[in-house]
Chains A and B, each alone.
Chain A
Amino acid sequence: MKGLTYFSIALLFLILIGLIYKSVPILKETSFGNLFFSTEWQPLKMKFGLLPFIISTLYVTIVAVVISVPLCLLTAIYLSEYADKRVIAFVNPLIDILAGIPSVIFGIWGIIEVVPLVRDYIAPAFGTTSSGYTILTGGIVLSIMIFPIIIHVLLEVFETIPEDLKNASLSVGATKWQTVKLVILRKAAPGVISAIVLGLSRAFGETLAVLMVVGNVIMIPISPLDPGYPITALIANNYGEMMSIPLYDSALMLASLILFVIVLVFNFISRRILKNIERKIA
């Protein structure tokens, strides 16, 4: 029992060490600037500029979070403060189901519904043409994928706010909305931020759904209607040839390492904040 428990902790460090070990060759061969600040990705010429991929990942993630957060906040406030029990009993299982849908299904749905939406309506509305496979498309699909995690964490955070604190505000004649706005959201701020960061890191590491809809063109996207090529897509698309070109596998492992470290840090910080909130209540 004890051994297995230590193993499960060690897994975190094993992954880190494994990825670092595999990334060392490329870090030795190529300069830092050539890896992170170069846009040239030509494995055959030993050029591994990761910048377009990093920017694409950040861009898609930010679009997803910008779409998702307001909707999730409003939904979570509604469910925790306004909705009656029957609504909650109806909505919660559906959100759980949404959480269970595999990313390839989101990807397919993105191709069926969102790609045409962007191509036929959104792009023309902004006076451009687009294939529909864009950063925005990826962002929309991702935003829905991260609904469940953000809403779930937000609901848990709002649940920790004592009824008596709300009553304190209501009893001086504040309306429910004023109480939400001035007291609950302020009190819940660290938890809300954690929820957002958890959603963000989920979006950050999502692979298949994004890969299927963002176009996978190696360039630095400027407009949300440009295609992009996120890190996860880079790794997934090139696994086939990575063993046949020198340093290629190491470059992809480095890309995985970047994903891992960023998600690790985000998760660690937000989980710590959430734990502290829980502890304060208990």
Chain B
Amino acid sequence: MKKETEILVPLMTEVCDEGNICVEGLNVYYGDRQALKDINITLPAKKITAIIGPSGCGKTTLLKCFNRLIDSIDGTKVTGKVMLNGEDIFDPHADVIKIRKKMGLLSQRPYPLPMSIYDNVAYGPRIHGIRKKSELNQIVEYYLREASLWDEVMDRLNTPASGLSIGQQQRLCLARGLAVKPEIILGDEPTSALDPISSAHIEKKFVEFKNKYTIVMVTHILRQAIRIADYIIFMYLGEIIEHGPAHQVLDNPKDKRTSDYIKGIIS
């Protein structure tokens, strides 16, 4: 079944080039339950790929595999490979810190660290050894500008980050993630807790960043996928059912489950 769809639908990309995330035969088990079943997919570099599907289909699990946050969930077992720049992320000798540094994460709700706005952005760089105040100042300003937050917070950098609005917090989290110079941005329904204006802000940023970063986002908002995604992956019950260029998957789904989901029959 799956093999068939792969032949019918043009692959997003065939080769595991530099920068692409290539998933090969990935299985994830939570105890006895299999959360991901034989995932084979290549996510193209410098594009926005949206992962859609009903809740519980494994979208977030797949995302968590990329930066190995899956490690911190008790009782999981992972088999298969996720290749990035010729290295397997799940190689037992892989440096998890280095992998995570390459991937900025935006979670469903913003989680500012319990410290000031400045320290939130400086958190990553400091951990990776940058100590010089002038350098940190530059980094903080640069990435707060990148996240379009600088103008709103420049005069209160030393106040607790928890004092910001939810929308501002999410942009702060974006700046915090960017400050360690990732190649990839992972978004786990990054706008689901935000008001429409803040959501638009984040979407705009994603589109702007497309040339600099590979963006992978999980979303349950189909319209959002239509608006910003280049490629779409549809998952159902732990499997990839269909994937390809956004308009093709959305306008012309090959699989009945995909079309049912798009029509709102499965949710």
Chain A residues within CB distance 8 Å of chain B: 84-85, 162-175, 178, 182-183, 186-187
Contact = CB atoms under 8 A, between A and B. Distances in A.
- Report whether over half of chain A's contact residues are helix, strand or loop; otherwise say mixed: helix
B197 interface: no
Contacts of B173: 168
A22 to B, nearest CB: 46
B180 interface: yes
Contacts of A167: 69, 72, 105, 107, 111
Contacts of B107: 164, 167-168
Contacts, number: 70
Contacts of B127: 172-174, 178
B114 A187 contact: yes
Nearest to B95: A173
B176 A172 contact: yes
Given A168-B107, A172-B124, A183 B100 contact: no
Given A164-B107, A164-B111, A178-B127, A173 B180 contact: yes
Interface residues of B, number: 30
A180 B107 CA distance: 19
Nearest to A84: B74
A171 B103 contact: yes
Interface string B85-105: 000000000000110110111
A170 B100 CA distance: 7
A244 to B, nearest CB: 59
Nearest to B98: A173
B264 interface: no
B254 interface: no
A167 B66 CA distance: 13
Contact of B97 (A164, A173, A183, A186): A173
A175 B123 contact: no
Contacts of A166: 72
Nearest to A168: B111
Of listed A84, A165, A187, residue having the most chain B CB within 10 A: A165
Contacts of B101: 172-173
B58 interface: no
B72 A169 contact: no
B130 interface: no
A172 B100 contact: yes
A173 B129 CA distance: 12
Contacts of B114: 183, 186-187
Given A167-B69, A182-B123, A187-B114, A172 B177 contact: yes
B219 interface: no
B98 A171 contact: no
Contact of B108 (A164, A165, A186): A164
Contact of A173 (B74, B75, B124): B124
14 contacts: A164-B107, A165-B111, A167-B69, A168-B111, A168-B112, A168-B113, A170-B69, A172-B124, A172-B177, A172-B179, A173-B128, A186-B114, A186-B115, A187-B114
B240 to A, nearest CB: 24
B208 to A, nearest CB: 21
B69 A183 contact: no
B42 interface: no
B69 A85 contact: no
B100 A162 contact: no
Interface string B156-177: 0000000000000000010011
Given A166-B72, A167-B72, A167-B105, A172 B111 contact: no
A173 B104 CA distance: 9
Given A173-B100, A183-B113, A168 B75 contact: no
Contacts of A84: 74
Interface string B39-74: 000000000000000000000000000010100101
Of listed A163, A169, A171, A187, residue having the most chain B CB within 10 A: A171
B77 interface: no
Contacts of B123: 169, 172, 174, 182
Interface string B197-221: 0000000000000000000000000
A35 to B, nearest CB: 44
A165 B72 CA distance: 13
Nearest to A163: B72
A176 B115 CA distance: 18
Given A85-B75, A167-B69, A172-B101, 5 more contacts: A167-B107, A168-B113, A171-B100, A172-B104, A183-B114
